[in-house]
Amino acid sequence: MNDHKLAKDLAQKAGQILVEVLADYESQNFAELDANAIKELGNVGDRKANEFLINQLKLHRPDDVVLSEESVDPQSRHAASRVWIIDPLDGTASFSRGYPGFAVHVALWEAQATSASKITAAAVHVPLAHTTLSTSDPSHFVPEFDSAIHGNLHMQAVGWTLSERDDIRIVASPSHPPTQLAAICDRLRKDFNREVTVERRGSVGAKMAYIIGGHADIYVNTRGFSEWDIAAPLAVAHHYGLVAVLPDGSDFQFNQADVAVSGAVICRSQYANSILQVLADES
């Protein structure tokens, strides 16, 4: 299969592995798991999904290099023409509590690509929302979320279904929201004369699915993360017509010596200038 379909297929199958790991814990009350059990559940999910993705990429693309959050950074990637950038489990905290805000990220970087990011194929799979975003899909496709129940795993108050809305909605990290968030909200209220609300959600990929599905409009991160957190979400955001830039408004670049990324602004195009102006004023 081509790279787009391979990325989608692998992301979905890795997501199924994560669901199976959760199924082993479904008889327990996630709220009652102690810190050690929560950590162990995350570790098991990370390990199993990573092993699957690494082995499948070796099988299907043996000449390519893989950069993964869960593996040693390969020095061979610096001279490679093709590098897969993967996050086997983005949103570990959500996963370990049975919440739907986790995702699998699979992206391909190619040295000869003409775009600034050089990401040529990508997929983000959000298993408990039954949603996959892929560069193989038509860009007009709008994903639907199944938020009720997956097996016996209840989504409770963190489900995905929302009624029609009139607000501008921002999704942010539950633990590390941008320090400029209040100023961004104020600027958007002023510029668009609409209410602005903020929701905390887990994985970057899950946030992209939430925005592309029409449930939110903006994601801002100024705390930073790593290439595997953003490579696939960035590519699908561009594929679906969103603005996706660094907090200073410049383009993303990947397969860098330092995999740290300063953050991201991903949003519907009409909001980009307002957000970037706030970030420039407060930098």
Q: What is the pLDDT of residue 150?
A: 32
| 40 and 72 inside one domain | yes
Last residue of a domain, one of 125, 158, 191: 158
Q: In terms of domains, do 191 and 113 share one?
A: no
pLDDT of residue 160: 38
Query: What pLDDT, on a 0 to 100 scale, did the predictor assign at position 151?
Result: 31
So what's the pLDDT on residue 195? 96
Q: What is the pLDDT of residue 247?
A: 97
Separation of alpha carbons 157 and 159, rounded Å: 6
pLDDT for the residue 59: 98
pLDDT value, residue 219: 97
Residue 242's pLDDT is what?
A: 93
What pLDDT does 27 receive?
A: 59
State residue 266 phi and psi, 5-degree precision: -130, 125
CATH assignment of the domain containing 23: 3.30.540.10
Walking along the chain (283 residues) 10 residues at a time, the average pLDDT comes out as: 96 96 74 80 95 98 97 96 98 87 97 96 94 82 43 32 73 90 97 94 91 91 96 95 96 97 95 97 85
Number of independent structural domains in the chain: 2
pLDDT at 24: 81
On whether both 134 and 180 belong to a single domain, the answer is no
Give the rounded distance of the alpha carbon of 146 from its chain centre.
18
208 belongs to a structural domain: yes
What per-residue confidence (pLDDT) applies to 23?
Answer: 87
Task: Name the percent of the chain in helix, strand, coil, to the closest 5.
Answer: 40, 20, 40
Question: Domain limits at 250?
Answer: 168-281
pLDDT recorded at residue 96: 86
- Per-residue pLDDT, 148: 36
Rounded to the nearest 10°, the torsion over CA 35, 41, 42, 48 is: 160
The reply to whether 21 falls in a domain is yes
Residue 163 lies in a domain: no
**Domain-embedded: residue 54:** yes
In which residue are the tokens 């907090």 written? 247
Q: 112: exposed, middle or buried (C-beta count within 10 Å: 0-12, 13-18, 19+)? A: exposed
